[in-house]
Structure 1
């Protein structure tokens, strides 16, 4: 019998265990296929709308009100693979970018200056101090374009023709040069290794013309003309450092009316030899009357030169004499420095070869600090004359002084107003020699003894221990085996200073 369509639907399916086929999901393609075809007016309208959106996006990207992209690389204008991408930092003024760069660490200046030419120029405006290695950077004028706001410039290394690829670096008196493998007869620097004074003077003229607000300059081997150009145009110059300059070249600094700090290096053993005598010191004294700090390294001279400085430079407060070659008797001229507060002697082979009669020495009435570092103190008479001139001193610092024995140090007893004594590297001084001096100082408040092996804990007397107990500050490390610091822990020694006490350090 034939079945009706309804019965066929209701009849059991022999494959009832199989799942029915999935219902197909319409895709965009299938949907579009069922949509009707667009007419020509509709196609024209859709194309015009797309062009309008594209033009609108381009106008927004060039507008100053456009919001910056979220990508940091786009914000800072870093290079990308898309050359048409806009640089949003161009919307910022130079003044605003400079304020941003001021808050960036100096260590990142070099990397940031490589981003683009504009950033290179802006970072150059932030630099105020440089050391020039190649003198061609000055004579070509590139340094003035690259760094227009310099206040401190050092051209010493640029004035010496040394191999830049050498691995041998020699340093002496703050001067470091690279040397070759050949051994020079006259030292590490020969005359041919130094640029001519005319070339250096020409560079100084360009520097003074481009930087009228220069505050500090370090010069090598210049003549009177070069210094005259600096002194005449750089009226704000306050600090000057001269290397390898003779007496006559010092005439050029007579116009530095506002000069306050001067470092004069006449001769450096093994590097160069130039003579600065009483003539140069007198010229210096008459031309720079506002000096506050003066450092003389490797200079010749005598009583007359130091006397001229003391009489003319009445504002001088700090005098440093390093590796001097002065004639005997120069110590007596220090009494003319009426406002001197700090005296430093460094790396001197002798203090004074012939100080003369002690009653004729005089003293510095306002002197507060005496620093003697790496000096020969074998001459008892010279050391006694030094302490006599500095008898009003409040602080004495002796560091790595050779031949400082008990008899030599005993001359310091004349300094009755000492409040601070610091001894470091005085290996010949004993505990008895130290005690014989400091027990006479009734105003002593601070004592430092470091690396003085002949001073022993076991030799400390009751009088010396009593003195330790009333000090405001005690630093006691005469040798690595000293047990005084740990032995006095908790005993209250050194506590008289109250809240100003810095502690007993071991």
Structure 2
């Protein structure tokens, strides 16, 4: 029997383990740090060892950190430091690529070669619009459109011919979509042009969480592939673009879309055709639709009445529309959108009184009205907005035909009005402000008044309390 077993109280008994030993036992990174510090201590004590043991200052301390920990550290740095950080070493370049979520592709070969997926494995938002265009390098001619920008060899052809000549074939675009779908199953947003039904079907099968899609040069056949994206929530369809390309989206495509994408929340139709039937199908099938944007539409007369089927629609935007609805039909068939809160009109031509009257009647439940740079909105046109009794916010900008009398006749009928914005409306004169309109100004929560460059109302109201009585502040513009 040993001495320790005979005498348990002996001072030579084996000491119990310390808490630091237990803590360091399962902490591998700390062991590396301790080992590196020991190397530094030995190197400082023994000058001869300088040739055998490198100095700790020359050791990359980040090698002691795992990829996951270093990735969390790099993710906390500002976006402006992302590119400089990627130049530190190959490891940092790889880790910075894992942090990239959104990317605009300019070189199609970068996608189909597989380098895109290797370099950026966690992409969620991808824009392929400019990558689908083949443009010669070192060209002195640049074609710029509101959607695309490309270089061209010569300038003696139309924009449409130039785009068709430099646009990648449908088969090539579909191959790129297949490569993207196989490498980015977590893709959430995509922008693409000249894709086919097969390419979008591949995307729908692989990218199950795709939520936002922007499709240019779209037609009815392509919409069959979009209908397979069951979780799609935001969709923008661009059909016909004047001077750039021509593509047809009709009631057939809108009906296919409505039956497939029933979870749509936001929908934008740009340069699309259609009629009452297409909009009705969207309203009946897409019950979650809250925002509808119609840009430069080519719809048949009578489509306005179909908006009443969009029962949960909250925002309606009309952008760059040359006409609204020349023959909306009788009032009893128009109906209205019960949940509508916002009506935005921008760069639209409001020439037809029948169209404007029908539009405001469909939107009579609206609470916010914004009119920006719309041609033709005069006193008679603006009077039709009196049917919207629940308006709380009104913004008028660039309405040069509207006068003070036309503004007063409508806004005095809105008892719930809280905010009024009038900018660049040259025929609205401060000298024509009546006592009733001045009283309304006093009860507003917010007033931004700058109908022309000579407006003196904002300075003359200082100290009078006008614009503050019913609200928090008075803004000067």
In structure 2, the residue matched to 1:187 is 160
Structure 1 residues 59 and 362: alpha-carbon distance in aligned structure 2, compared to 1, 3 A threshold: farther
TM norm structure 2:
0.87
1:141-197 Cα offsets, whole Å, 9 max, x none, are 010111011011111111111234446555545433344541323536332211111
2: CA distance between counterparts of 1:221 and 1:504? Answer: 47
Find out whether 1:235 has 2:208 as its counterpart.
yes
**Counterpart pick for 2:76 among 98, 103, 106:** 103
1: CA distance between counterparts of 2:439 and 2:268? Answer: 41
Native 8 Å contact 2:442 2:467 kept in 1: yes
Structure 1 residues 364 and 456: alpha-carbon distance in aligned structure 2, compared to 1, 3 A threshold: same
In structure 2, the residue matched to 1:147 is 120
Q: Secondary structure of the residue that 1:187 maps to in structure 2?
A: helix
**Counterpart pick for 1:381 among 345, 354, 361:** 354
Note the C-alpha offset of 1:394: 0.3
2: CA distance between counterparts of 1:59 and 1:100? Answer: 33
In structure 1, the residue matched to 2:417 is 444
2: CA distance between counterparts of 1:434 and 1:489? Answer: 23
In structure 2, the residue matched to 1:122 is 95
Native 8 Å contact 1:173 1:268 kept in 2: no
**Counterpart pick for 1:460 among 415, 428, 433:** 433
Native 8 Å contact 2:402 2:427 kept in 1: yes
Native 8 Å contact 2:425 2:452 kept in 1: yes
Find out whether 1:338 has 2:311 as its counterpart.
yes
Find out whether 1:485 has 2:454 as its counterpart.
no
**Counterpart pick for 2:249 among 276, 280, 285:** 276
In structure 1, the residue matched to 2:133 is 160
1: CA distance between counterparts of 2:258 and 2:146? Answer: 23
Native 8 Å contact 2:442 2:470 kept in 1: no
2: CA distance between counterparts of 1:212 and 1:504? Answer: 48
1: CA distance between counterparts of 2:140 and 2:82? Answer: 27
Native 8 Å contact 1:189 1:272 kept in 2: no
Deviates more, 1:248-257 or 1:259-268: 248-257
Structure 1 residues 287 and 55: alpha-carbon distance in aligned structure 2, compared to 1, 3 A threshold: farther
Native 8 Å contact 1:188 1:270 kept in 2: no
Give the total of aligned pairs.
Answer: 435
Root-mean-square deviation over aligned CA pairs: 2.0
- Alignment map for 1:146-295 (pairs within 5 Å): 146-166=119-139, 169-185=142-158, 187=160, 189-295=162-268
User: 4+ residue runs of structure 1 moved beyond 6 angstroms?
Assistant: none
Which structure has the bigger radius of gyration? 1
In structure 1, the residue matched to 2:473 is 502
Structure 1 residues 185 and 170: alpha-carbon distance in aligned structure 2, compared to 1, 3 A threshold: closer
Structure 1 residues 171 and 339: alpha-carbon distance in aligned structure 2, compared to 1, 3 A threshold: farther
Structure 1 residues 413 and 135: alpha-carbon distance in aligned structure 2, compared to 1, 3 A threshold: same
2: CA distance between counterparts of 1:417 and 1:171? Answer: 42
Q: Secondary structure of the residue that 1:320 maps to in structure 2?
A: strand
- Alignment map for 1:336-485 (pairs within 5 Å): 336-485=309-458
TM norm structure 1:
0.82
> Which runs of 5 or more residues in structure 2 are unaligned?
1-42
In structure 2, the residue matched to 1:47 is none
Q: Secondary structure of the residue that 2:382 maps to in structure 1?
A: helix
